Amino acid sequence: MSASFQPVLDRIAREIEATPGRGRPADYIPALAAADPNRFGMAVAELDGTVHGVGEWQQPFSTQSITKVFTLALALAREDDELWEHVGREPSGNPFNSLVQLEYEHGIPRNPFINAGALVVTDRLQTLTGDASGTLRAFLRAESGNPDLTFDPDVAASEAAHGDRNAALAHFMASYGNITSPVPELLDQYIRQCSIEASCADLALAAGFLARHGIRADGSTLLSRSRAKQVNAVMLTCGTYDAAGDFAHRVGLPGKSGVGGGIIAVVPGHCTVCVWSPGLDERGNSVAGVAALDRFTTLTGLSIF
């Protein structure tokens, strides 16, 4: 199959180039608002670390919510099922920054990928490690092989200046005893986490453990096969905000998007894919990214269904 990845990627890039209407970049984070929606990159990483790419596949971009997959895996690796006492596994059906469900569900977020759930996971990782964002960065550097991968201070500052909703979520959950870190410390860790810059190649490589059923690039075990299955399952049902059903219908893979325009997707036992294009649809997912992954699974036949 690997010999066919590059022609498939080249074909997808040509089709995307000819497609009008790429959406709009995230404008509620000023540091992301000026991004060109016509930019595009895509990479496929095989299980052995071989990477194929097209377009701007080596261009770093703001990972944003994609990092939630990695913090979830790192927290699960350290505390197993105890994590699920603090966050659920169900699709929310509401926008990623919604406060609506928290009150009548007693401060327990629906899943780890909405903002409230991601704050809980980052809080757990902070409690376990003392430096959640640093632990995440070290993991991404090791798995991607990129020692320069790091935080973007401009994006972090921009998010900090417009983070009232996340602060409200964190304080509200703290009132129910579901946040243990001081809220300002948690928000700093969460913002740093979301500000990490990485390329399609970096992220495809870093997510490889999910295609290898929990095995890291160096052959060590991060997650059991069952735990890796759990992460992939939550990605499938909750990974693209309130468009997860449409994404599963079109793409047929576990995926996680970010408002920086990136999406990672996993083909268990085969490969991982990352695509980036900053133009978003009304639900916060990359327009060209979803279209490219749709074409990828159609052209290769690689899907979990």
Three-state helix/strand/coil letters over the chain: CHHHHHHHHHHHHHHHHCCCCCCECCCCCHHHHCCCCCCCEEEEEECCCCEEEEECCCCCEECHHHHHHHHHHHHHHHHHHHHHHCCCCCCCCCCCCCCHHHHHCCCCCCCCCCHHHHHHHHHHHHHHHCCHHHHHHHHHHHHHCCCCCEECHHHHHHHHHCCHHHHHHHHHHHHCCCCCCCHHHHHHHHHHHHCEEECHHHHHHHCHHHHCCCECCCCCECCCHHHHHHHHHHHHHHCCHHHHHHHHHHCCCCEEECCCCEEEEEECCCEEEEEECCCECCCCCEHHHHHHHHHHHHHHCCCCC
Please pick, among 65, 98, 158, 277, the residue that the annotation labels catalytic: 65
Please pick, among 54, 241, 277, 287, the residue that the annotation labels catalytic: 241
Please pick, among 68, 181, 266, 273, the residue that the annotation labels catalytic: 68
Q: Is 224 a catalytic residue?
A: no
Q: Is 104 a catalytic residue?
A: no
204: closest CA among 60, 28, 42?
42
Q: Is 195 a catalytic residue?
A: no
Please pick, among 120, 121, 259, 290, the residue that the annotation labels catalytic: 259
Q: Is 241 a catalytic residue?
A: yes
Q: Is 68 a catalytic residue?
A: yes
How many of the other CB atoms lie within 10 Å of CB of 289?
Answer: 35
Please pick, among 87, 144, 190, 231, the residue that the annotation labels catalytic: 190
* Catalytic machinery residues: 65, 68, 190, 241, 259
